[in-house]
Amino acid sequence: MEALMNEIAEALYNGEAERVAELTRRALEEGFSPEEILNRGLIAGMERVGKDFRDGILFVPEVLIAAHAMKAGMQILRPLLTESAISGLGTFVIGTVKGDLHDIGKNLVAMMMEGAGFKVVDLGVDTPPEKFVEAVKSHNPQILGMSALLTTTMVEMRRVIETLKEAGLRDRVRILVGGAPVTQEYADEIGADGYAPNASLAVEKAKELLGLK
């Protein structure tokens, strides 16, 4: 059983998108839950990619191909993760901050929030503070989410919060932050309302911020 999860991780590491898709389908047929496939197959594979990228064994082109394979698996899981009995928890706006092109984690958070019953507005990657502010004005969300994967871009989260303050909109929305370099301490320091280390806990945190649990 564990072998299949390893095969998914391995195929993802090798950037074999079609094989990742095929193995993801097979795992579902064999009774693995979407969460298990995500965590023990796809994310496990991407963690290995990250480690070898850091150690200079893999380079940007290989990582891009692995990211493409990850998305092939996520596409199959998406309808299952976003399937929801409840709806109307509110609106969740999310974006990856300015200068940052990483979107896999953001997409996962968006999917899980949608699955939990939020209406999700996804601003994409490389989102400037003004675009976050504009989205708060036009969508009036209950929660604004920001994702950052680089130590050099996480500082943009503070800028967004400052820009919201300048626009007089900071108190209209709860702010949730996350991404690999982000911590609870950093969230507190910049005046965010919440931090979550992964997509499932982002949902829990969002509900907690709205007094729904």
Distance CA 196, CA 206 (A): 9
Residue indicated by tokens 């950052």? 148
Residue 198 binding ligand B1M, by CB under 6 A: yes
Q: Is 151 in the site for ligand B1M (CB under 6 A)?
A: yes
The pair phi, psi for residue 4, each rounded to 5°, is -65, -40
Site size with ligand B1M, rule: CB under 6 A: 39
Tell me the C-alpha to C-alpha distance, in Å, between residue 180 and each of 103, 130, 198.
12, 24, 9
Q: Does 103 bind ligand B1M (CB under 6 A)?
A: yes
For 20-41, b where at least 16 C-beta lie within 10 A, e where not — what string?
bbbbbeebbeeebebeebbebb
- Measured from the CB atom, the residue of 27 and 108 that comes closer to ligand B1M is 108
Q: For residue 116, is it left (φ>0), alpha (ψ between -120 and 50) or beta?
A: alpha
Cα 55 to Cα 11, 50, 58, 143, distances in angstroms: 20, 9, 8, 37
Binding residue (CB under 6 A) for ligand B1M from 17, 20, 27, 46? 46
Our finding on whether 114 is near ligand B1M (CB under 6 A) is: no
Q: Is residue 102 near ligand B1M by the rule CB under 6 A?
A: yes
Give the shortest CB-7-to-ligand B1M separation in angstroms: 18
Q: How is residue 25 written in tokens?
A: 């389908």
Q: Which of 16, 100, 122, 193 binds ligand B1M (CB under 6 A)?
A: 100
C-alpha span between 36 and 197 (Å, rounded) = 17
| Among 160, 202, 203, 207, interactor with ligand B1M by CB under 6 A | 202
Q: Which of residues 117-146 bind ligand B1M (CB under 6 A)?
A: 145-146
Task: List the Cα angle 107/129/148 in 5-degree steps.
Answer: 40
Comparison of 105 and 129: residue with beta carbon closer to ligand B1M: 105
Q: Which stretch binds ligand B1M (CB under 6 A): 11-19, 78-86, 157-165, 196-204?
A: 196-204
Among 18, 30, 47, 83, which residue interacts with ligand B1M (rule: CB under 6 A)?
47
Binding site for ligand B1M (CB under 6 A): 43, 46-47, 49-50, 53-54, 60, 63-64, 67, 94, 99-106, 108-109, 145-147, 149-152, 176-181, 196, 198-199, 202
